[in-house]
Amino acid sequence: MANALYFGRKYRLTIGDKPFEVEDGKPAMDIKFDVTYARGQTAREGTLSILGLGHKTIHRFVSLAAMPRGEALSQLVPVKLDAGYFSPAGMVEIFNGFAWYASVTSPPQMWLNLKVSEYNPLGGREAIVPPATNSTMRQILQTICDVFSDTEGVEFDWEDNTEDQVISSDNEPKSIDFGDKATLSSVIAKLTSSLSDKVQFILRSYKSDKTRIIECLDKAERKVQHDIVKVNKDSGLLSVTGVDAVSGCITTFLDGRISDQLCHLDLESELNQQANGKYYIVKKQHVGHFMGQEWYTRYFCSAREDD
């Protein structure tokens, strides 16, 4: 049964290079998280709250709030969170990025509340991106990857995951001016606006080799994005709410099957058969409280097609 498959909560939180884990069912501390990834959103972002950190670690984060913006950007603290189950269902990557703002609640509990993002929502490091003149999108993307690999100190690459390989097969020269200085977020926004009728660009989380990916996706809802994800009682379905003729909210146990891109979802519910069909996922949300009730994933869907 699905409930047996998703038994025993577990998480692994890494702050900088220091890991905090649940071992033998005993938590190092309590955590809460609410991380969202929506279509058109550059990368995953949200909030993370931690109970039980020492004063030195708390001060390291809270000091970000008191810094001038430029100084704070250079002091961003890496944060990675995996959460899931001791059972074969395993762990889900909830977040892999950094905290850019922090606050702390009053004693005695002192929850550290972090705003987290997989890219720099305040702009990131600026770089000079040469204006593209009579260049293909492949050439433009490669230039951007080269520039920000040097600027950010991590490898960047790009992938064309459009159904018709719009970027890879297009040899029509284009001209795009990114301005005197650009940030990664402004460049991604500029790319999307330059091909606003066909393609959107997002920043994916790290690959296993620590490469960040600028991903090209179809804007059209009916275009297939990778595999169709099936959701039923055997794959963690918890509830179906807000269903109308075309949309709905589908809640499952923590699910990491589409952590890097949003695609289609095929719902098979025995209790809500009227809601069954294929949906287009517009937003995915991970919500959890280790010592509380929440520990699930929500899919917000539209463009329903009945079976």
Residues 205 and 268 in one domain: no
Answer yes or no: are the C-beta atoms of 156 and 211 closer than 8 Å: yes
Q: Residue 274: how many CB atoms within 10 A of its CB?
A: 9
125 part of a folded domain = no
**Measured distance CA(258)–CA(86) in Å, rounded:** 20
Last residue of a domain, one of 176, 193, 218: 218
> Is the pLDDT score of 182 beyond 60?
yes
What confidence tens digit (pLDDT) does each residue in 109-128 have?
889 998 888 766 555 677 88
Same domain, 136 and 199: yes
Q: Is residue 54 part of a domain?
A: yes
78 vs 76: CA distance, rounded Å = 7
Q: What is the mean pLDDT of residues 42-61?
A: 84
Looking at the chain, how many residues does it have?
Answer: 307
Peptide bond into 108 cis (omega under 30): yes
Whether 109 is covered by a domain: the verdict is yes
Kindly state whether residues 59 and 161 are assigned to the same domain: no
Is the pTM here over 0.85, yes or no? no
Same structural domain, 27 and 100? yes
- Tens-digit pLDDT profile for residues 156-177: 889 888 888 888 888 888 888 8
pLDDT reading at 206 higher than 50? yes
Q: Does 127 fall in a domain? A: no
Is residue 273 domain-shared with residue 178, that is, in the same domain? no
Domain that holds residue 242: 228-305
Q: Give the pLDDT score at 227.
A: 63
Same domain, yes or no, for 113 and 137?
Answer: no
Q: What does the pLDDT average to over 92-102?
A: 84
What is the pLDDT, as a whole number, of residue 113?
92
Q: Residue 223 domain-assigned?
A: no
**Domain annotation covers residue 79:** yes
Does 141 share its domain with 201? yes
CATH number of the structural domain spanning residue 184 = 3.55.50
Which one of 46-50, 219-223, 256-260 scores highest in mean pLDDT?
Answer: 46-50
Determine the average pLDDT of the residues in 8-13: 90
Q: Confirm whether 82 is domain-assigned.
A: yes
**71 within domain boundaries:** yes
Residues 104 and 19 in one domain: yes
Q: How confident is the model at residue 1 (pLDDT cuts 50, 70, 90)?
A: very low
Q: Which whole number is the average pLDDT over 276-293?
A: 90
Please check whether residues 66 and 149 belong to one and the same domain: no
d(CA 206, CA 261): 13
Tell me the CATH number at 252: 2.40.30
Q: What is the pLDDT of residues 227-258, one digit of tens each?
A: 688 898 888 888 888 777 667 899 999 998 77
